[in-house]
Structure 1
């Protein structure tokens, strides 16, 4: 026998090792350490989820803007859809008509015409009164020329042909937005220093051709130079271009990163439902901040445009047209965030949430009873729906979220449609579950107990 071995050691051949029984003091110490470890673990998870949530909320507005920039730049149809309404905006049309009319009239030397007429009358020996009358024709003649040119230009700018020319030119020069953001000097919209200009060369060609066809030969002298309209000046254009380049690069991955961070924040939090509600609320607040920022930028932009450069109503129409899809996306995400937060709350223990769930259960149960009284019993299907209610609800919600993800540029109306369909499906499933009836379930359970 090994004298160093304990009495119950296998080497000693003694009795087998007995399980140690903790004393009351040891168990109390164990429970204290376990609670301390659990609290520490929860604190670490809460801190990690808070950091992830903060990053997601800070990136949310940038992700929306980046996705809008990338979508507008990369998708030709989306770009044309963005700028196409400018051709039909009355304030923009008025600016183009006035600018083109001024340029045509400036190229018509009315004074030379009246001087030539005066010399002809003098050489012909016309009375002095007639000669003086010819000299005073310059004003009426200039007004007549302007009236004719304005009528012709207006007819062109407000016609469907101009709409087609505008869309065709923008489709062919789809890189215009990229040029404006990167500072390139090609395309319909381009940046030159701190100035953003709109090229109306195609419109000038169309107006010149129409005027020549109408017999106004002087219109052929319209120069090919100065074929741009200044949209706005800004000293911050360079910084905006740098930011837009960065947003364009991150346009694809920044939204994905934001969604992943938000999902990780919810997953790592000790209370998933509460964190989901907090995350959705935070995203909604950030979307409101983005909408307010767009409104402030609009005011700053309008204040920075001199009326002599561009009328206020035309500048407002240009800004609103360019950012309308960004506004729509922001409003859509705001509605989605509100709906998500509301759903997360309704699944919680709050008294209003319980009241809503109770009212919904009573309503679907009453409807199910009505279906049973009408002779329609769902049987095993209804009982399966009752037993797997959580799974069916999750599948319906996931299907609705997937539909919005796959929807091409969803709007608030699309969110309302998907939400309505999801609610209708959930109500129908609840009614079908209630139509199974408690009697059917009791009979089935009795049959299962009686089976060998």
Structure 2
């Protein structure tokens, strides 16, 4: 007897063991448990996506503001671009002209001039009427002085020279402050511990060189020591430098964190397209909230500035100039959010979305057939584009998004340009795909009776 065989084995000719078959009740219970597990998993994913979406929407306006502040505070070129228009703003120019004119006129003692003239006339024995006329010259003389000073100051402030001096002064001062706050040893102003020091080494070198050129040979022995002057000591300098470092971190990584949270929210959600549409819509709403907040802050700022200190139109021009890049970035993100939500909707099953896709397909198909009738066929290239349409479309969209990310400070115009190029490329790709002739098999079947 073969020990490997048994009465129930097929080799021994016995009957096969019965298979485990679930009953109807067991099958129903299994399906119920599976649906319950799937529903639970779906709910967990929805909760996780909702939390990530909430964090994204809360951080979105903060990320925009942090990036703007960090960009303006730490980048000298960006700061100069921000404040440069103030030198040519008419309201600001008028405020500066009036302020300088008042200072100059106040320093001119017109009363002393008229008093001296009156005394001189009295000493010379002039008639009383002439002396009284000299005493009444104070107001006309003051007006004349003011007119001359105002004309001179206006000519200087409205010239191109003032624009250049304004930009140069702001560039030097901003670079010096940034070097001090970041601990960079470049530039004349630098921080050493809790002290702010001014490096006068270049000045010492120039003075020594000019003295030697003027014939003072002993000036060459001026030592190189004491090339720095301590301006002031403060315990707050360390806090200011820490704030600057924190600002660099927030301005750089907070936008990145916000984008990562948005991507995770879309990826975690069961319905990716719907969550993408919701995320884009929410981001757009938060950008609108930020624009409204900027308008409210503008009103509060104008109400807090006394007209005697700064005219309202000049204060409004200063505020609008300082926050214009923040407004531009917010509007750009709003347009990007609207476009993203619209694209996500057009990929959905809605009737308007299907109508738009159908109209686009008909248009590109008709254009492709026109090219074929004109003798232009794309052949295998067109058929490859037809078979990989989803990949080509995704590649064009990804290329547009990458171009927008790499664009230095994109504006609404840049978004419109990239969107137009992407749409044109998609239309051309669809037409080339439609211009492909039928395959060989299709040609044979078409020629068969």
Q: TM-score if structure 2 supplies the norm length?
A: 0.80
Q: What is the aligned partner in structure 2 of residue 127 from structure 1?
A: 127
For residues 244 and 100 of structure 1, the distance between their equivalents in structure 2, rounded to whole angstroms, comes to 34
Q: Deviations over 1:371-418 (max 9, x none)?
A: 000101001000000000000000000000000000000000000000
Q: What is the aligned partner in structure 1 of residue 148 from structure 2?
A: 148
Displacement after TM superposition at 1:57 (Å): 0.3
Q: What is the aligned partner in structure 2 of residue 253 from structure 1?
A: 253
Q: Cα distance 1:339–1:108, how it changes in 2: closer, same or farther (>3 A)?
A: same
Displacement after TM superposition at 1:31 (Å): 1.2
Q: Cα distance 1:244–1:306, how it changes in 2: closer, same or farther (>3 A)?
A: farther
Q: Cα distance 1:317–1:17, how it changes in 2: closer, same or farther (>3 A)?
A: farther
Q: What is the aligned partner in structure 2 of residue 27 from structure 1?
A: 27
Structure 2 regions of 5+ residues with no counterpart?
Answer: 1-5, 183-241
Q: Structure 2 matches for 1:41-440, cutoff 5 A?
A: 41-174=41-174, 249-438=249-438
Q: Deviations over 1:229-252 (max 9, x none)?
A: xxxxxxxxxxxxx99996554111
Q: TM-score if structure 1 supplies the norm length?
A: 0.79
For residues 245 and 314 of structure 2, the distance between their equivalents in structure 1, rounded to whole angstroms, comes to 27
Displacement after TM superposition at 1:75 (Å): 1.6
Q: Cα distance 1:49–1:445, how it changes in 2: closer, same or farther (>3 A)?
A: farther
> Would you say how many aligned residue pairs link Structure 1 and Structure 2?
377
Name the SS for the 1:410 alignment partner. coil
For residues 245 and 299 of structure 1, the distance between their equivalents in structure 2, rounded to whole angstroms, comes to 31
Name the SS for the 2:306 alignment partner. coil
For residues 430 and 441 of structure 2, the distance between their equivalents in structure 1, rounded to whole angstroms, comes to 16
Q: Cα distance 1:94–1:345, how it changes in 2: closer, same or farther (>3 A)?
A: same
Instruction: Check conservation: 1:332, 1:411, Cα contact below 8 A.
Output: yes
Instruction: Check conservation: 2:74, 2:178, Cα contact below 8 A.
Output: no
Q: What is the aligned partner in structure 2 of residue 222 from structure 1?
A: none
Q: Cα distance 1:440–1:393, how it changes in 2: closer, same or farther (>3 A)?
A: farther
Structure 1 regions of 5+ residues with no counterpart?
Answer: 1-5, 183-241, 447-452
RMSD between aligned alpha carbons?
A: 2.6
For residues 355 and 152 of structure 1, the distance between their equivalents in structure 2, rounded to whole angstroms, comes to 68
Q: Deviations over 1:133-192 (max 9, x none)?
A: 11111111111111111111111100000000000000001159979x99xxxxxxxxxx
Displacement after TM superposition at 1:421 (Å): 0.3
Instruction: Check conservation: 1:101, 1:149, Cα contact below 8 A.
Output: yes
Instruction: Check conservation: 1:281, 1:341, Cα contact below 8 A.
Output: yes
Q: Cα distance 1:314–1:440, how it changes in 2: closer, same or farther (>3 A)?
A: farther
For residues 24 and 143 of structure 2, the distance between their equivalents in structure 1, rounded to whole angstroms, comes to 109
